[in-house]
Amino acid sequence: MVSVLFVCLGNICRSPTAEGVFRQLCENQGVISGLRIDSAGTAGWHEGKTPDGRAVAAARQHGIDLTSLRARQISPSDFYSFDYILAMDGDNLSELQQCRPPDSTADIRLFLSYAIQCEQTDVPDPYYGGDEGFEQVLELTRNASACLLMHLIARGQVAAVEP
Ligand code: 4NP
C-alpha cells in the first residue's frame, strides 16, 4: 500500500481537486486498492468545510465529485503515515519543510515536479481569481496525476494492471 497526501494552503481548492483527480485516475486504472489518497492544508482556516463551490463545479465537468471531502489541517502524524506529501506551490513546500518533524519518513516535494512537458513548478492559487483558474488547476493536476501514477508503477509501488 502506498500513500499520497496532497497539500495546499486552505485544503478547499487545489489539494482536494488533486485528491479527486488522482483518485479517479487510479479507480479508472484499476489500481485504487493499492493506494491511500488524502489531502490537507498547511492552514486550518477551513477545517471541516466542503471544497470551494468553484472547485466542485470545475471537477464535476470532468466527472469528479468532490462533495464528500472535508478540509483539514496537516498534522504531525501525517509526516510518518504518508509515503508522499506533495505540495501545490513553493510556499506550501516551504511551510511543510519548516513544520516537518526531523525524523519524518515522507518524501516531500512539489506535485508538479512529476509533470512531464510542464514548465510550471506551482499550481497557482485560484482562490482570489476567476473560474479559469480552477480549470487550470484541473489541467495541471490531471497531467501531474498521470505522471505520478507512472512513477509509482515504474518504482513497483503500484502494480500495473494488464490491459
Ligand atoms: P487552496 O486555496 O490553498 O488551493 O485551498 C485557498 C483557499 C483559501 C484561502 C487561500 C487559498 N484563504 O485565504 O482562505
**In the chain, where the domains are located:** 2-154
Beta bridge partner(s), residue 107: 84
Sign, CA dihedral 150-154-155-159, equals positive
Contacts of 79 (CB under 8 A, 6+ apart): 85, 100, 101, 104, 105, 106
Q: Is 13 a catalytic residue?
A: no
> What rounded mean pLDDT belongs to the chain?
97
Mean pLDDT of 135-152: 98
Looking at 78, 125, 142, 147, which residue is catalytic?
125
Contact 18, 88 (CB under 8 A): yes
Domain 2-154: give its CATH superfamily: Response regulator (3.40.50.2300)
Active site residue 142: no
| Pocket of ligand 1, beta carbon within 6 A | 8-14, 45, 125, 127
Q: What is the pLDDT of residues 45-93, one digit of tens each?
A: 999 999 999 999 999 999 999 999 999 999 999 999 999 999 999 999 9
**Which residue's alpha carbon is nearest to atom 13 within ligand 1?**
10
